[in-house]
Amino acid sequence: MTTITTYQTDEAGLFLYADKAQQFALDPDRYNVAFRAVLKKPPKTAKGKRARWVSEAAPTDPGFLDGSWIVEDIPESEPPVDASDAAADATSSEITNPQ
């Protein structure tokens, strides 16, 4: 049996890692491609960028493989919330029982 290289994506379409798919023993024209994996190699990305797979088809639809890669900026993470600010917000917005 032969193998082909596949490119695993997550639920958001972000590239995770390269993997292998094996040929089906009883149908040598088909390969056992993992869920959300695609056959097109993702583009190289610069620092601060990431590759995302976009497809109009759902991951369960064979047409999912007809999508394409886009390169986008990696969003900056939000600054951590100060614990004392979070506690103050929680107490000021608590709903009290009127009884």
Looking at residue 77, its pLDDT comes to 82
Which amino acid is located at 99 in the chain? Q
More confident residue, 68 or 94: 68
Looking at residue 17, its pLDDT comes to 97
Q: CB-based contacts of 5: which residues, under 8 Å, 6+ apart? A: 18, 19, 20, 21, 39, 41
Gap between the Cα atoms of 81 and 95, Å rounded = 22
Give the global pTM.
0.73
Contact 42, 69 (CB under 8 A): yes
Question: Is residue 21 scored above 80 in pLDDT?
Answer: yes
Band of residue 1 on the pLDDT scale cut at 50, 70, 90: confident
Mean pLDDT of the chain: 87
Q: What is the mean pLDDT of residues 48-71?
A: 96
Question: Is residue 68 scored above 80 in pLDDT?
Answer: yes
Largest interatomic CA distance in the chain = 72
Instruction: For the chain, give the number of residues.
Output: 99
Gap between the Cα atoms of 76 and 58, Å rounded = 28
> Chain centroid to CA 19: how far?
15
